[in-house]
Structure 1
Amino acid sequence: MIRVLLADDEELVRTALAALLALEDDLEVVAQAQDGPGAVRAALAHRPDVAVVDLDMPGADGVQVAAELARALPACRVVVLSGRGRPAHLRRALEAGARGFVTKGVPGSTLAGVLRLVHGGGRYVDPGLAADALSTPDCPLSPRELEVLRLASFDLPNAVIAQRAHLAPGTVRNYLLAVQTKLGASSRAEAVRTAERFGWL
């Protein structure tokens, strides 16, 4: 029997996944969680063989959960589930130790097969996402530039971005100009759209 943890902030999704997996003779959902920290706590308490974690969760996202479980519970294989997977998300998840990356549109039988595969030591990546990853450029922005652009995506004034990022307003302006130049964007909004399209934000 493969013991499974489900973590997703949407109860309907968790319930549906649990019902689908209950149809499989060799899979048992032993715990559920609605956020990242809860997923880590549940994994440590129940010691599942596989954890299925949503990419976007409050408290800690699926990539952060994968990294924490790789450190604290390496025997637990992590499969990241995403409704909006991008190549950059895939890269981050695999680098964090995830063994699988699946989009939410897959049939239940496919997900069950993925859980068996990763439990047996294999890896699985959504084929469409894998193909996109081969043609998507690497992010040209530094971590600090990404941080500033992420704050800019909320349409905050430079002064507020500077305060939150612990930078001088002039430094924020310089970072944003550098970002626009690197991305070939004519405005801050266009730079944000480009970064979001490639999954860098």
Structure 2
Amino acid sequence: MIQILIAEDQTILRNALESLLNLEKDIHVAGAVPSGASVRSFPGLWELDLLLMDIEMPDGTGLETAKYMKQHGFRGKIALLTTFSRPGYIEQAMKLGVDGYLLKDDPIDQLIVAIRRIVAGEHVISPALSNMLFRLQPNPLNDREQEMLRRVRNGESTETIASAMHLSLGTVRNYLSSAMQKLETTNRHDALRIAEEKGWI
């Protein structure tokens, strides 16, 4: 029996997945939780065969939770389930060594087949995303540039960023300028938009 934990913050989808997967004779949903934190505190977590996690969840995204589980020796399989086909997300998932990258738009029978293949030891990516693998662009932004754009997203001014990060105003402007150049934009908001669309921040 395949023991699965579903992590999905949308209640309707989480409940639907749990019900549909439990109809399969060889699959048992051991639990269905709404966040990364609730994955990490789930009883019996380390005995599970598969974690099926949404990428964008509160209290620890699917990517962050996958990284945590890998670092702490989780021996089961990890599959990420998402509506997002952003290249940056796929790149991060591949670097983490997740076992599956699946789309919520995939038919349920296709998802069930993918689950069985993943548990059997295969690496599975949704067919709709396979072409994107050949067009992956590495993230051109360094850690500082990514942090600057995240703070811009939060509405922080240059002065606030400088104070929070203990940097000079000039240094903050240089990082933002560098990010804009790499993303071939002329303002920080366009740079933020592109970085988000690519899944680079």
TM-score range (shorter-chain normalised) is over 0.9
Task: Report the counterpart of residue 186 of structure 2 in structure 1.
Answer: 186
CA separation of 1:151 and 1:130: change in aligned 2, threshold 3 A: farther
CA separation of 1:156 and 1:71: change in aligned 2, threshold 3 A: closer
Contact 2:106 2:126 in 1 (8 A): no
Task: Report the counterpart of residue 135 of structure 2 in structure 1.
Answer: 135
Which ranges in structure 1 are unaligned for 5 or more consecutive residues? none
Task: Report the counterpart of residue 85 of structure 1 in structure 2.
Answer: 85
Q: CA deviation at 1:71?
A: 3.0
RMSD between superposed Cα atoms in Å: 1.7
User: Secondary structure in 2 aligned to 1:135?
Assistant: coil
Task: Report the counterpart of residue 21 of structure 2 in structure 1.
Answer: 21
Q: CA deviation at 1:130?
A: 2.9
- Partners of 1:37 and 1:166 lie apart in 2 by 30
Percent of aligned positions with the same letter in both sequences?
A: 30
- The alignment's TM-score, normalised by the length of structure 1, stands at 0.92
Task: Report the counterpart of residue 169 of structure 1 in structure 2.
Answer: 169
CA separation of 1:66 and 1:43: change in aligned 2, threshold 3 A: farther
Q: CA deviation at 1:162?
A: 2.1
CA deviation map 1:100-148 (0-9, x unaligned): 0111111111111111111111011122323123224222111111111
- The alignment's TM-score, normalised by the length of structure 2, stands at 0.92
Which ranges in structure 2 are unaligned for 5 or more consecutive residues? none
Give the letter aligned to residue 74 of structure 1: F
Contact 2:91 2:136 in 1 (8 A): no
